[in-house]
Amino acid sequence: GAVVSQHPSWVICKSGTSVKIECRSLDFQATTMFWYRQFPKQSLMLMATSNEGSKATYEQGVEKDKFLINHASLTLSTLTVTSAHPEDSSFYICSATRAGTEAFFGQGTRLTVV
């Protein structure tokens, strides 16, 4: 099956700093990728839809200036959490779809802001 790889798997950063998370589709081209956030014991909440070559579409309530998404190529989307605060600590997961198949998820990134 298709492979989506996320990096890093976990990261600890200081409050006020920025963190970049990468999502790569390793064996297929993804014109669209999705970013989700999952707090402990909660569901996956869609943050934004990442479109290759254009601006991301953010869900209501998600701050676009805080969560910067760049989809510069058909195989890479990045999420940058800017000026991170402890409340941004969460499990961030990306997904990508290949035409005609199901969504493939990255392994997730556990962000801890101290």
| Binding window for another protein (CB under 8 A); candidates: 18-26, 65-73, 81-89, 95-103 | 95-103
User: By rule CB under 8 A, what string of x and - marks binding of each residue 53-92 to another protein?
Assistant: -------x------------------------------x-
Which CB atom, from 4 or from 81, has the smaller least distance to another protein?
Answer: 4
How big, in percent rounded to 5, are the helix, strand and coil portions of the chain? 5, 55, 45
Measured CA to CA, the distance from residue 84 to residue 112 in angstroms comes to 9
The C-alpha angle with vertex 101 and arms to 62 and 3, in degrees rounded to 5, equals 75
Give the burial class of 62: count Cβ atoms within 10 A of its Cβ; 0-12 exposed, 13-18 middle, 19 or more buried: middle
Which CB atom, from 82 or from 91, has the smaller least distance to another protein?
Answer: 91
Q: Which residues bind another protein (CB under 8 A)?
A: 32, 34, 36, 42-46, 49, 60, 91, 93, 95, 97, 99-103, 105-108, 110
